[in-house]
Amino acid sequence: MSVPIKIAVAKGDGIGPEIMDAVLTVFNSVGVPLQYEFIEMGKTYFLEGYGTGMTPKAMKVVEELGILFKGPMETPKGKGMKSINVTARKTWSTYANRRHFQSLPGVDTVFSRAGIPIDITIVRENIEGTYGGVEHMNTHDVTICRRIISRPGSEQVIRFAFEMARKEGFTKVTCAHKANIMKITDGLFLEVFQDIAKEYPDIQSNDIIIDDLAMKLVARPHEFQVVVLTNLQGDIMSDLCAGLVGGLGFAPSANIGDHIAIFEAVHGTAPDIAGKQMANPTSLLLSGLMMMRHLGFVKQAAQIENALRYTLEQGVHTADFGDRSIPFSTTHEFAQSVITNLDKEPEFSKPRIAKDGVPLFIKPLAATHQKMMESTKDKANKVIKGVDLFIESSEPGEAIAATIQPLLSSGQKLVTISNRGTLIWPTGSVFTELVDHSCVRIEQEQGEMTQNEVFELLKKVGKQYMIPSYELLRNFGIKTGYSLTQGQ
């Protein structure tokens, strides 16, 4: 008999406790060797003053055990509070969000009616990108959000996608991006994908622009197997794919890091039906099956999934889906039906076959006071070519240029002035509408600019304009580290 593995369990808010109880009842019925340590995490603890939405003891338990199984959680609206779910993913560096979308019997969709089976895995970068949440008000009218894409972060999630594909028998991995517009950020993500793909010649790889992916997922979803994306784009495409298979109530989710993994339901807390035994536990159950496979309990996971599919084929359903001519089951009754059918396999869909294999789970590191730093080898010669000064001004480009140019030192040149990324000086259109936030680009005509020269320039320009932010224009070897202005 397997040695029991202890995991942290957070029941969640709203319908969380009742669907978690139903899922754990199913787990216990097949003798999965798991022990549960229930932790204090969710909206209640946010309101009690815990900024992460969990108590220090809860955080310590997760870090000691390495596995968190959680129900849906609500972040209180307003008050500047960050999402409990996002905080947990980022705090524990669960860099890969995996969501598996597959057609399920008894779940009516456009594609099920057309006889088109769907089996798509979205792998989303989970830590950086737009969801870094680094935002500032630069002026009264202009806000800024930094979209951080790093090489180490991209390597982690892309390598996970290929490794997962190889272990689970997928033959195709697609990188979705917007590198045609965001040439540096998405360009880096695509570059890393293309480099790593060379290490997996047994897996077909290709890339697609994100808007084209959205169209093709709706029109021809069967063409995709594994899709890897940056954070915000992956979040949007995940919900799109959930719609293809019946909604978030059928969408399992795993957040995988090197030392900690989180398995969760991604749908809402549905407070309007909380406690009424009307909630659908399928999403959390499927997430739990991903957890079981992650821990190496593949046979038990296959047994439960086959029972679930058989149960759905028999028309058993909760209030949110299924044949309305058949009375719906309560949350508890739905779980009991799955338990009753544990010795059965689906008749109208392909049974899940258990594959023996080593657990994917990696024990967490012993706690240390030293933070881990991710970096790659960089031998490029870095040169400062100039600076972009973001100034607060309601003046047109010509007026700004007339003020800036006399302030420049010998060898420095005002190259462009742009507004919301569009060129307004030295050329532009009178039809370009402006806001009170312009980017003044100054470059060194010959050689390079020193950081001290940048600071001196900031002092001079700062006497004329408020400079809420600035960016160095740097070259990394032969690679230009900044984009051109739209229209330049």
Q: What residues does each domain of the chain span?
A: 382-480
pTM: predicted TM-score of the whole model, two decimal places: 0.87
Residue type, 275: G
Q: Does domain 382-480 have CATH number 3.30.70.1570?
A: yes
Closest alpha carbon to 145 in 156, 126, 158, 132: 132
pLDDT in the model for residue 375 = 65
Q: Are 11 and 20 in contact (CB under 8 A)?
A: yes
**pLDDT at residue 131 in the model:** 83
Instruction: Output DSSP code: residue 16.
Output: H
Encoding tokens for residue 34?
Answer: 């798991």
Q: Using an 8 Å Cβ cutoff, are 53 and 84 in contact?
A: yes
Residue 415 token pair? 């190259």
Instruction: Give pLDDT, residue 361.
Output: 43
Q: Are 483 and 423 in contact (CB under 8 A)?
A: no
Residue 81 has what pLDDT? 63
SS3 content of the chain, % helix, strand, coil (to 5): 35, 25, 40
What pLDDT sits at residue 362?
A: 43
Burial letters for 116-131: b for 16+ Cβ neighbours within 10 Å, e otherwise?
eebebbbbbbbbbbbb
pLDDT of residue 79: 57
H/E element holding 418? strand 412-419
Distance CA 62, CA 245 (A): 32
Q: What local confidence, expressed as pLDDT, does residue 366 receive?
A: 47
Per-residue pLDDT of the chain (488 residues; tens, 9 = 90+): 467 899 999 999 999 999 999 999 999 999 999 999 999 999 888 888 888 889 999 999 999 999 999 999 987 765 556 778 888 888 898 999 999 999 999 888 889 888 888 999 999 999 999 988 889 999 999 999 999 999 999 999 999 999 999 988 899 999 999 999 999 999 999 999 999 999 999 999 999 999 999 999 999 999 999 999 999 999 999 999 999 999 988 999 999 999 999 999 889 899 999 999 999 999 999 999 999 999 989 889 999 999 999 999 999 999 888 888 889 999 999 999 999 999 898 887 777 776 554 444 444 444 444 555 566 677 778 999 999 999 999 999 999 999 999 999 999 999 999 999 999 999 999 899 999 999 999 999 999 999 999 999 999 999 999 999 999 999 999 889 998 876 66
Backbone angles phi, psi at 134, to 5 degrees: -90, 100
171: DSSP letter: -
Tokens in use for 163?
Answer: 């490794």
Across the strands, what pairs with 384? 474
pLDDT of residue 167: 87
Residue 338 is encoded by which pair of tokens? 């799955």
CA-nearest of 337, 127, 370 to 234 is 127
